[in-house]
Amino acid sequence: MKKMVVIIDYVAGEKMRQFQEFEKYGFQIEYVYDHPEIQNHDAFSNMFLQFEKHGPDSLPVNEDMVKAMEDADIVVSHLSAVSSKALRQAKNLDAVCIMRSGVENVDLKTADECGVKIVNIPGRLAVPVSEFTIGMMIAEMKNIARSHNRIRNHNFEVDFVNNSYSWNLAGKAVGLIGCGLVGSRVAKILKAFDAEVLVFDPYLGAEKIREMGCEPVELDELCERSDVISVHYRLTDETKGMIGAEQFAKMKPTCCLINTARAGLVEEQALIDALTQRKIGGAALDVFHQEPLPEGHPFYTLENVTLTAHLAGTSADIFDVSYRMMRDTITSYLESGTWSHVVNMRQG
């Protein structure tokens, strides 16, 4: 009998037990609780950011997970880190299935060394993040959040710092840095708003960008021409800090930066300087280098920034979407013998 280990985390909780349906394929299902001491969202966020920034081995090893994985064939993780120790001690492990598009949960080099495939579900957040991104653009440019905060304090004044450049999206140039599953949906929505869409994505290719009705440009040109810039890259060693002082210096003083991707793509101090010194018009941020923001952080007092608490990928049915996608991926493998969406180098 084959064995599947399913890791129960703070966010998904007992919903992970839906994987019991794979018993019909002859699997023994073993459930492991990941860090049961995590009892609130702040504690979970701190743990999540820790392994996203520094890798899964920066967290204490879950010995129960290590033991359960020793004879596992498939491991399913939602938002839990899988340690390199667990990978190395697993004798029969074929694949670790990560229920997200990011795979920071696992050290890919170790997985390659152990001959373990890392399987993800790309695009699970494409719809909520793309919709949220458009919402952030409008909220920042139209002062929606600022007006809400004022009215809650019985203040109906409409004099905002960006009154002279509170643009419509129609007719304005919106630059997308990265145009994958999320960015391409953002581009499609922007076209419906009659915006001019500029795209920097060397991995996509100029012809493909033109087929989408967008204009391919280099990063410098995008920074110079855009009225709004939205970031949609993955965070890697190559993309870390790709938006810094040099890029802000090229932007219009009325340009608005949107980041619903990863905080590390933007140099934080360079962004603070750009906002404080009005080198750019404003920003809307859903991700931060430290979450929650520490006391006294400049973002709390800046008038030209809209902040949300890492909500872009949130929707009431997101776990159900993730579960269906991973269920279908595993089922396809069991019926065909071939994994789809293998992200590490050991393909096949």
Percent of the chain residues past pLDDT 90, beyond the cut: 90
**What's the confidence (pLDDT) of residue 65?**
98
Cα gap 219→208, rounded to integer Å? 17
**What's the confidence (pLDDT) of residue 173?**
98
**What's the confidence (pLDDT) of residue 21?**
97
Q: Which residues are catalytic?
A: 262, 291, 310
pLDDT range class, residue 234, cuts 50, 70, 90: confident
What is the dotted CATH code of the domain comprising 126-307? 3.40.50.720
**What's the confidence (pLDDT) of residue 198?**
98
In this model, does residue 347 exceed pLDDT 50?
no
In the chain, what's the furthest Cα-to-Cα distance? 68
**What's the confidence (pLDDT) of residue 333?**
97
pLDDT range class, residue 348, cuts 50, 70, 90: very low
Report the mean per-residue pLDDT for the chain. 95
**What's the confidence (pLDDT) of residue 184?**
97
pLDDT range class, residue 345, cuts 50, 70, 90: low
Write out pLDDT tens, residues 162-200. 999 999 999 999 999 999 999 999 999 999 999 999 999
**Quick check: do 2-122+317-336 and 126-307 share a fold?**
yes
For the chain, domain boundaries: 2-122+317-336, 126-307
Cα gap 268→288, rounded to integer Å? 8
In this model, does residue 335 exceed pLDDT 90?
yes
Phi and psi dihedrals of 16, rounded to 5? -65, -15
**What's the confidence (pLDDT) of residue 305?**
98
Write out pLDDT tens, residues 48-97. 989 988 999 999 999 999 999 999 999 999 999 999 999 999 999 999 99
Q: Which CATH number fits domain 2-122+317-336: 3.40.50.720, 3.10.20.30, 1.10.260.40, 3.30.420.300?
A: 3.40.50.720
Q: What is the reported pTM?
A: 0.82
pLDDT range class, residue 328, cuts 50, 70, 90: very high
Percent of the chain residues past pLDDT 70, beyond the cut: 99
What is the b/e burial string over 29-53, where b = at least 16 CB atoms within 10 angstroms of the residue's CB? bbbbbbbeebeeeeebbebbbebbe
Helix then strand then coil, in percent of the chain rounded to 5, is 40, 15, 45
In this model, does residue 120 exceed pLDDT 80?
yes
**What's the confidence (pLDDT) of residue 102?**
86
Long-range residue pairs from 210-215, CB within 8 A, at least 24 positions apart, any chain: 212/179, 212/184, 212/187, 212/188, 213/187, 214/176, 214/179, 214/187
Higher pLDDT, 229 or 236: 229
